[in-house]
Chains A and B, each alone.
Chain A
Amino acid sequence: MIKLKKKTPLIDQHDRFGFYGNKFGGNYCAETMRKPIEDLSKLFEKLRKDRKFLRKRDHYFKHYLGGETPFFKLENLTRHLGGAQIWCKDVSAIKGDAHKAYHATVNALICKESGKRYIAGDTGAGMFGKNLAMAAKKMNLKCKIFMGTKDISRQAPNVKFMRDAGAEVVPVDSGSKTLVDAVSECMRHYVSNCDNTHLAVGSAIGCNIFLKICAWSTSQISRELKKQLVKEFGEIPKLKLINVIGGGSSALGFWNEFIDFDKKHVELIGVEAKYAAPLSTNAKVAILHGAAQYCLIDKEGQIAETHSLSAGLDYPGSSPLHGLLKDSGRARYTNASDKEALAAFKLITKLEDIRPSLEPAHAWSECIRLAPKLKKSDVIVVNNCGKGYKDKKIYIEQLGYYPK
């Protein structure tokens, strides 16, 4: 079993080749990309220690993204399920409607610092694309978003938003026409334009530096949560932190400050989509998009196709950092089907005022399964990491309605 290092940020627990636990991550990329990613690594290491840059980041988080996102108890749901107390960290309340706002903003700031004028990113559910388009507009950068044609049609509201913000949305028609192909195409674009373009990978995936920047950015979520917990409870209570996992960027942000806690004190639970679930179905380690990770593949080692109603989860791989958390036993992973996620949405929206997108609906589904089995003193916090409006059409198709 891999052992995690205490008091070392999760993103920094790699060796000099970019591997976590000798097994996950690395830099499996074309020679053309080596110099640009090395330059980016140097720049990032400098910036994360640079007070002026950190102030700028905090300024943007506060005044541009709207500051701290709310943390509150779901009284009705708690009563209904009759077990653990259920709390919501409502990251979807951020300007930009999802945790991707942090990651997109930081990438745009880094792009500015690097002196590059172009920024390119991939997107599945459109949340990263939308936030990147917004941040690029704000910082006067030219933005290209790569998106599978299947996702362009099922996440139309976000696509419109990207275009309105002035980004060019590049439709990707190869393979399964979803996120996996969008990431590939975006990386190709970077290989061809790395001299003037900053690559913003949409999740905590890709070569070492890309997943580091991503998880570093989203960790704002757990910094806030830690303070909010102490304010509510006077201490960090016995907790279960439930988060949906696609690539895994929101979970890494939600968990980051709690990694060093004992798992009996703070348990980390990741929920994948049932037919895109490399971490919870004992998938093999494979190399995808520049890194070794748990990934769904076929017998020949080709990357497998996945199926999820949720575009953000429809991805065969997972962050190398989740491989590390799984193999070290720090986090545990489970999954929920489309049906279960829809049922969770139905129940949550009947009882409470939040409107989760399909992605966090998976996390809610696990919360609903788990809560009745726990004591009243147990605390569950779910990261409600995305707003549901983008899935309105799908919800109406599947459930016949979308709540007010």
Chain B
Amino acid sequence: MKNSINNAFKIAKKENRPALISYTVCGDNTKDKSLQILNSISKDLDIAEWGIPHNCPTADGKDIQNSSYRALQNGIRLNDIFKLVKKFKKTKPSKPIILMGYYQVIFNYGERKFIQKCKASGVDGLIVVDLSFPDNKNFAKLCKKNSICFVQLIAPTTTIKRMREIIKSSHEMIYMISTISTTGSALKYSIKKIIKNYNVIKRIKPSKNVVIGFGITEKTISNLKSADGLVVGSAICREITRSLKGRQNPVTNVSKLVRKLKNKII
């Protein structure tokens, strides 16, 4: 299990394509539905990111906010999330799963207890949006000790000096934010500029797996194929919202969308 995130990237590389990473919110719109969605799309995914909903998500755009509020409204709790991860890993033990959330929820639960629970349920990695470098040093160490990959983020505003420090303290995966924005808004930069930023990171440490996220949709995904991995989040959450509004089954619709995304990068 220890290297399952690395393995996922290796497999994608062998197939000469970027790893496809989804982001959905655990519990959206219900506990069961969110697990059904993840199970159904996982065949087309290399890594699954599951959001831990928070009601003050200051870095998320409207789509992920909607998903989070739906999940919370339907009563999702942190312990449910661990149970659902366990269930998912039981049927798909080799599919890496990363939990992504805000520090408040972890802080409230207790860092150590949280990481132990992650480990026991089979979580492979963690992204904590508002716990940035250098404040995340201890937490990242604690993750490493427990064989959990702590994913550092790099933004377009990150200076080269800071980037070097972040990369140095990073684990096997780094998340590059494509553009100055919250999740899910349109790309502000040209593809060329995004790739240029990506290459800056890669040149510093070519062995790290760098994924690009924020604003990636069916339309833009094929242009960024050269990255190690691509994260699609808001576009999927938007599809869930659309399906629910149209009284359609989000499982089928999201699966179709993820299949389309996959087809665009192979």
Contacts and interface: CB of A to CB of B under 8 A. Distances in A.
A180 interface: yes
Nearest to B65: A174
B175 to A, nearest CB: 9
A290 B132 CA distance: 11
A192 B185 contact: yes
Interface in B65-116: 65, 69, 72, 77-78, 102-105, 107-109
B108 A191 contact: no
A289 B135 contact: no
Please tell me the size bucket of the interface on A: 35 or more
Contact of A184 (B56, B109, B132): B56
A271 interface: no
Interface stretch (A27-35, A81-89, A252-260, A323-331): A27-35
A59 to B, nearest CB: 33
Interface in B146-164: 153-159, 162
Consensus secondary structure, chain A interface: mixed
B220 interface: no
B197 interface: no
Consensus secondary structure, chain B interface: loop
Given A187-B58, A286-B104, A301-B105, A30 B155 contact: yes
Contact of A35 (B69, B130, B134, B158): B158
A22 interface: no
B103 A195 contact: no
Nearest to A186: B58
B132 A188 contact: no
B59 interface: yes
A17 B135 CA distance: 7
A36 interface: yes
B23 to A, nearest CB: 15
Contacts of A300: 77-78, 105, 108
Interface residues of B, number: 40
A284 B104 CA distance: 12
B103 A30 contact: no
Contacts of A27: 132, 135
Contacts of A187: 58
B180 A32 contact: yes
Contacts of A297: 104, 108
Contact of B55 (A31, A34, A193, A303): A303
B104 A301 contact: yes
A287 interface: yes
A195 B109 contact: no
A174 B61 CA distance: 12
A76 B102 CA distance: 52
Contact of B153 (A31, A195, A284): A31
A300 B78 CA distance: 7
B105 A195 contact: no
A144 to B, nearest CB: 15
Interface of A: 17, 26-36, 174-175, 180, 184, 187-188, 191-195, 284, 286-290, 292, 297, 300-303
Interface of B: 54-61, 65, 69, 72, 77-78, 102-105, 107-109, 129-135, 153-159, 162, 177, 180-182, 185
Given A31-B132, A32-B155, A175-B56, 19 more contacts: A28-B103, A28-B130, A28-B131, A29-B58, A29-B130, A30-B155, A32-B59, A32-B177, A34-B157, A188-B58, A188-B59, A192-B185, A286-B108, A287-B104, A287-B107, A300-B108, A301-B105, A301-B107, A302-B54
| Top-5 shortest CB links A-B | A301-B108, A32-B155, A35-B157, A287-B104, A30-B59
